[in-house]
Amino acid sequence: MADIEFIKNLSGHSGCGLKLYRSENMLFVRKDSGNPGYNRRLKKQCIKQQRFRLGGVKTPEVLGCGQKNGLFYFDMEFLNGVTLAEYMNCIKIKEINHLISLLFKSLPLASSQNNPRANKIFHNKIAGLRQSIGKTDALAAKALQKLEEYDYSNIPASYCCGDLTLENIILSEDKQVYLIDFLDSFYNSWMIDVAKLLQDLELRWSYRHSKIDFNLNMRLAVAREALIENISEFSDGCQMLLSIYHLLLLNVLRIYPYAKDAVTAEFLQNAVFRVLQIIADMENQK
Ligand SMILES: Nc1ncnc2c1ncn2[C@@H]1O[C@H](COP(=O)(O)OP(=O)(O)OP(=O)(O)O)[C@@H](O)[C@H]1O
Ligand SMILES: [Mg+2]
């Protein structure tokens, strides 16, 4: 590659380095692993981004990869745009349905398949979680019990982005939807992606450190409704939703051991309480 000029750091939370560079008048983003222990995961992320194929949405083109100072890195196209987390502050209400439907319809529901090992994989994961959370927290214990009682046999296996939060969706200037920041999940299912979307639309995870005003709150609520509506169109939509909320509960509990600040710890408590309540309401309506 020709000479590259450092422009600025971009922000991320995962500990990965994200830097904007210019080379021959073209901007690009370099993402590095931050520490050698993360090299393997970032390499997988890079491969996942290169192989990404979902209709209707895109991902930044991977321009190259390598290793520098013991850290794996990859270079990708720079997107001139905003994250959906930011865009939700000003999105036109009538645009929300279209955007959420586009995202939902891009998920590989049609090619998903039943996995006979699904229930075992989930119960193993939950058993591991019980070990790391311990018995001190009564609410977490209640949530763990709820998760242990559920049957995960019907969670279909399919391609999964792995971390589909609003911060990992970018809208480019020309209104194209891009997904970034792919993760490998212990189980790959489009339902896990929907649960991650709900982590923001229902629980406001990406906004936990900021103030949510009336406008944003309303837009997030409309987006949540739109997502639920897309799922409810299926004949087994209620069952799908019940499974998705269990996946959301599992996701929130998985963050528990990593909560580093008081705001996140409080967020997680409230989130577990809320999701347990939603699940109880759904079960009562059955
Ligand atoms: N190709 C890109 N073009 C423009 N902006 C980007 C690009 N890649 C990342 N960003 C910006 O950097 C932010 C962090 O990127 P990314 O999500 O890949 O980092 P991370 O630290 O792995 O993630 P997280 O914060 O989700 O843990 C994004 O939300 C986005 O604002
Ligand atoms: Mg991210």
Nearest atom of ligand 1 to the alpha carbon of 180: 18
CA of 161 to the centre of ligand 1 (A): 14
In this structure, the answer to whether residues 66 and 121 fall within a common structural domain is no
Task: Give the distance (Å) from ligand 1 centre to CA of residue 214.
Answer: 27
For residue 17 the two structure tokens come to: 């380095």
Express each pLDDT in 78-102 by its tens digit.
999 999 999 999 999 999 999 999 9
User: Is residue 92 located within the same domain as residue 198?
Assistant: yes
DSSP 155: -
Distance 11 CA to ligand 1 centre (A): 7
Mean pLDDT of 104-120: 96
Q: How far apart are CA 188 and CA 201, in angstroms?
A: 21
Instruction: State whether the beta carbon of 14 lies less than 6 angstroms from ligand 1.
Output: yes
CB environment 103-133: b (16+ within 10 A), e (fewer): bbebbbbeebeebeebeeebeeebeebbeeb
**E strand intervals along the chain:** 5-9, 17-23, 26-32, 62-68, 71-77, 81-83, 169-172, 177-179
Among the candidates 34, 61, 78, a domain finishes at 78
174 and 57 within one domain = no
pLDDT higher than 80, residue 11: no
Q: Is the pLDDT confidence value at 282 over 80?
A: yes
Ligand nearest to the CA of 78: 1
Determine if ligand 1 sits within 6 Å of the CB of residue 202: no
Residue 240 Cβ inside 6 Å of ligand 1? The answer reads: no
Q: Is the dihedral of CA 69, 183, 157, 54 positive or negative?
A: negative
Q: What is the CATH number of the domain that holds 180?
A: 3.90.1200.10
Same domain membership, residue 162 and residue 55: no
What pLDDT is attached to residue 34? 95
Q: Which of 78, 111, 135 is the last residue of a domain?
A: 78
pLDDT above 70 as % of the chain: 99
User: Which ligand is nearest to the Cα of residue 84, counting in written order?
Assistant: 1
CB-count exposure of residue 258 (10 Å: 0-12, 13-18, 19+): exposed
Residue 202: predicted pLDDT:
97
How far is residue 168's CA from residue 185's CA, in Å, rounded to a whole number?
A: 16
Partners of residue 83 on adjacent β-strands: 170
Same domain, 56 and 181: no
Q: 286 falls in which pLDDT band (50, 70, 90)?
A: confident
181 lies in the same domain as 156: yes
The finding on whether 78 has its CB within 6 A of some atom of ligand 1 is yes
Q: Dihedrals φ, ψ of 72, to 5°? A: -75, 140
Return the closest-CA partner of residue 272 out of 170, 143, 178: 143
Q: Is the CB of 167 under 6 A from ligand 1?
A: yes
CATH number of residue 45's parent domain: 3.30.200.20
5 C-alpha to center of ligand 2: Å? 24
Contacts for 216 with CB less than 8 Å, ≥ 6 apart: 88, 89, 207
Closest C-alpha among 173, 178, 185, 194 to residue 237? 194
What's the confidence (pLDDT) of residue 1?
A: 58
| Ligand 1 near 8 CB (within 6 A) | no
**Residue 136's pLDDT band (cuts 50, 70, 90):** confident
From 58, 78, 98, give the residue that closes a domain. Answer: 78
Same domain, yes or no: 206 and 163:
yes
Ligand 1 centroid to Cα of residue 84, in Å, is 12
Instruction: Give the residue numbers spanning the domain of 74.
Output: 5-78
Question: For 254, phi and psi rounded to 5 degrees?
Answer: -65, -25
Q: Do residues 46 and 143 both lie within one domain?
A: no
CA of 256 to the centre of ligand 2 (A): 19
Whether 66 and 98 map to the same domain: the answer is no
In this structure, the residue with its CA closest to atom 15 of ligand 1 is: 12
Looking at the structure, do residues 100 and 64 belong to the same domain, yes or no? no
Q: Which of 5-14, 48-57, 67-76, 134-143 has the highest mean pLDDT?
A: 67-76
Task: Let me know whether 152 and 106 are in one domain.
Answer: yes
Tell me: do 178 and 102 sit in the same domain. Answer: yes
Domain count, the chain: 2
pLDDT band at 14 (very low <50, low <70, confident <90, very high): confident
Q: Do residues 211 and 85 touch, judged by C-beta distance below 8 A? A: no
CA of 204 to the centre of ligand 1 (A): 18
Residues 252-271: pLDDT tens digits? Answer: 999 988 888 999 999 999 99
Q: Which long-range contacts (CB under 8 A, 24 or more apart) does 34-40 make?
A: 34/71, 35/71, 36/70, 36/71, 39/67, 39/70, 39/71, 39/72
The bound ligand whose nearest atom lies closest to the alpha carbon of 170 is 1
Average pLDDT over the chain reads 95
Q: Are 188 and 158 in contact (CB under 8 A)?
A: yes
